[in-house]
Structure 1
């Protein structure tokens, strides 16, 4: 009986290997050969699932975006506004090794997107989707100017994630900065700290 291959799962495993490599070495060091080695496959096996490096990069960028969106979806948005916003932002920050690798990969994709229209389109779509969901939720809970608040929350999240990547020793003070910023964004909600 022929072996059944779960093609989507194989693609996800290869994409996960690419994300690990991107976090460790940056995208300049990514090739079909390096991804094949990192995923425990031959280059020919990887090419059965991805025809080119660009196709692998596009898939991995989508995978990285999905991971963040999945974590965000697990946050209880019925919590008090300030607490829920804090939890949402924490899901995007490099607070452990796995999320640190993911954030480094996301940064590498963002830099690459400046010169690659397909990657830029994926980044814009993920940003747009996250902003729309966040703004809709903020509107439902009665946050004034939900769109502007969503933009501020995303900017805060992006800035903290970047700083935590290159100054991990400052994580505690950066989380304090998060709390101060949330106090400004949600002045009518008592601080949980």
Structure 2
């Protein structure tokens, strides 16, 4: 009886190889052959699943985004409050452990390559962090409906500010300019700034 192949697993295996290359060497000179060698498969197999280098780059990014979404969701405690959920999301975007550090390096590699690659730039812009501002703004609106937030806030701008805070600290944490504890403290400070004092943790 012929051996059944798990095509989703094989695609993920190849995408993971590209992630490792992106995190360690960047994507400027990446090729199908290099990815195949890293994955321990033939170049023909990579071409079978992804056809072209551009499609490999785009689909590997989509797979990584889904991986990161599940990674962050898995850290959310059962019954978490809206404030806790936003905190988990913001901290999940920071390079505070090996997994999130790899994710940060991957997205930085994509960002660098996308500067001179219009096709990839479109996908990086549209899919790197899909709808996060809307998600955070919706959670803030839920907290506002429960009278948990300070008065007079522009929730869309607060969502953008909180996400920009996390994005802006990634390089500092990667380079050791700011410690993980410092980054966490800044996230907590800004959540306390938005929440009413009696809701602060």
Q: TM-score, normalised by structure 2?
A: 0.83
Q: Deviations over 1:76-110 (max 9, x none)?
A: 59534443322221112212212211110011112
- Corresponding position: 1:172 with 2:153: no
CA 1:165 to 1:37, structure 2 compared with 1: closer, same or farther past 3 Å? same
**1:1-193 maps to which residues of 2 (within 5 A)?**
1-74=1-74, 75-76=76-77, 79-126=80-127, 127-142=129-144, 144-167=153-176, 170-188=179-197, 190-192=199-201
Contact 2:36 2:42 in 1 (8 A): yes
Q: Could you say which structure has the larger radius of gyration?
A: 2
Shift of 1:22: 0.4
Shift of 1:187: 4.9
Shift of 1:61: 1.2
**Structure 1 residues without counterparts, runs of 5 or longer:** none
Q: Where in structure 1 do 4 or more consecutive aligned residues deviate above 4 Å?
A: none
Cα distance in 2 between the residues matched to 1:10 and 1:140: 40
RMSD over aligned Cα atoms: 2.3
Shift of 1:147: 1.5
Q: TM-score, normalised by structure 1?
A: 0.86
CA 1:128 to 1:102, structure 2 compared with 1: closer, same or farther past 3 Å? closer
What is the number of residues matched between the two proteins?
A: 192
Contact 2:28 2:113 in 1 (8 A): no
**Structure 2 residues without counterparts, runs of 5 or longer:** none
